[in-house]
Chains A and B, each alone.
Chain A
Amino acid sequence: MTQLDLILQRNRRALARQISQLEDEPLEAREILRQLYPYTGRAYVIGLTGAPGTGKSTLVNALAKAYRALAKSIAIISVDPTSPFSGGAILGDRIRLNDLAGDPNIFMRSMATRGNLGGLARATADVVKLFDAAGFEVIIIETVGVGQAEVEIVSLAHSVVVVEAPGLGDEVQAIKAGLLEIADIFVVNKADREGVPRTVAALEMMLQANLNRAARVIQSANGLSHLLPSVEQNSIAPWQPPICQTIATTSTGIDTLLSALIAHQTYQQLHGLRHQRERHRLIYEMEQLLKEQLWTNFMSQVPPAQLHDLVTQVTTRQLDPYTAVERLTFRP
């Protein structure tokens, strides 16, 4: 049986080994990604982000249970940062997944960012494709939201859930981290704790001030999207991100969150937004691939001696870096 067959049959060992190859040997993994691609595009992808300790993993566990009750198969990807000092990582999100152990319709994988910025690992998008092709109906990505460059989770997920908890200091963490703009749904978790009304009120206030978020698309300033006919901006009522209150540890309020997710999914489908988001995601992905490819092609043609020489000239101020790069890229 081929690796493709094993993956399509959701063989767990084959999936696990394939993820490792996606992480460790991206170039070698291209062939299987090529073969998998026609089978992708079916899964519903949820991104879950927020400050550490807000209860994301516990929430993923509760949410996965709720989807299992609807007979959906679920894949979970939990991303944690790699230590920039040692290159190692502690991936601790499985601790909260104990209720789901032994269910063959759930697969969970922990990933370290391995130096990638933007909250995800470089291979996360490919792992999503793998799970999608393998027929997992819902894919949940958990990532630590530390602000900035969260564009990656937006580009990958159909619905982004930003998780907040009361009592993590005076400020609402999501506001501080700039996660407000990317949320399709807010969760105020740990609703059993004090300070929930204040957190909810702060979020509501920020949302009011931020109403023109409907036109949010993934902007890539100099990207491919400028070469394409612009996607028509629908004149539809903007999606209002709901604020759900949950107690993840007891699965309280998870039904509300589930309803909000289904409502958002329906809203997107109704207005063709899922397609639009997909299109933006693919533009982003093709840009990345194109950059990599051009870079590889280009660097294979640059004589190391010339590069070395130019760097020396720039270092000694005989040449400025702008001219140096022009000389590098100019090939008569």
Chain B
Amino acid sequence: MNDNQSKIKNKIRVLVAKPGLDGHDRGAKVVAQALRDGGMEVIYTGIRQTPDMIAEAALQEDVDVVGLSILSGAHLTLIPKIMARLQDNGLTDVLVVVGGIIPPEDIPILQQAGVSAVFGPGTSTQDIIKFIQDNVKQS
């Protein structure tokens, strides 16, 4: 029992959210399940999340990672807003990763805004899990 307890210590908690107005969350669900299978606790909040909702959920759930799925093309407006709200809530240590269709020229802009990784549609879920495990900052 004690052995088990030490294993579950510092379980990685991930918020998976879908900001913006498009209503497709199949991709986000697939990633959520993969992360669960990778041993993480995934708080799945679903579609049409505003930056405020995402930052508040990240705060209350004390997550280590925020995973954003964006297909709508509104990433350049949404993501800086989300990053700002996370900052407002003092969540400076949270790893933010983005999945979806992001034009290559926009990736540096998102990274500038504080996004740690952008995963395109073809990324294997194993790579995503690995990236999170290697880069998560747990306090």
Contacts and interface: CB of A to CB of B under 8 A. Distances in A.
B62 A86 contact: no
A13 interface: yes
B135 interface: no
A98 B60 contact: no
Contacts of A83: 36-37
A19 B13 CA distance: 13
Contact of B56 (A19, A20, A102): A102
A94 B10 contact: no
Given A12-B60, A13-B59, A86 B46 contact: no
Nearest to B50: A101
Given A91-B43, A94-B45, A114-B11, A86 B53 contact: no
A87 interface: yes
B53 A98 contact: yes
Contact of A13 (B7, B33, B53, B90): B90
Contacts of A114: 8, 11
Contacts of B119: none
Nearest to A85: B37
Which of B33, B46, B52 has the most A CB atoms < 10 Å from its CB? B46
Contact of A115 (B8, B32, B90): B8
Secondary structure type dominating chain A contacts = mixed
A17 B93 CA distance: 13
Interface in A96-116: 98, 101-102, 107-110, 112, 114-115
B40 interface: yes
Interface in A5-54: 12-13, 15-17, 19-20, 23-25
A90 B8 contact: no
A17 B59 CA distance: 9
A90 B36 contact: yes
Interface residues of B, number: 33
Contact of B38 (A13, A86, A110): A86
B56 to A, nearest CB: 6
A19 B44 contact: no
A87 B39 CA distance: 5
A57 B58 CA distance: 19
Nearest to B57: A94
B42 interface: yes
A101 B48 CA distance: 12
16 contacts: A20-B62, A83-B37, A86-B37, A87-B11, A87-B39, A88-B35, A88-B41, A92-B44, A94-B43, A94-B61, A95-B46, A101-B57, A107-B60, A109-B61, A112-B41, A115-B8
Given A83-B36, A88-B39, A94-B57, 20 more contacts: A13-B89, A19-B62, A20-B13, A20-B62, A24-B10, A24-B11, A85-B37, A86-B38, A87-B11, A90-B32, A91-B41, A91-B43, A92-B44, A94-B44, A95-B46, A101-B53, A101-B57, A102-B52, A102-B53, A108-B60
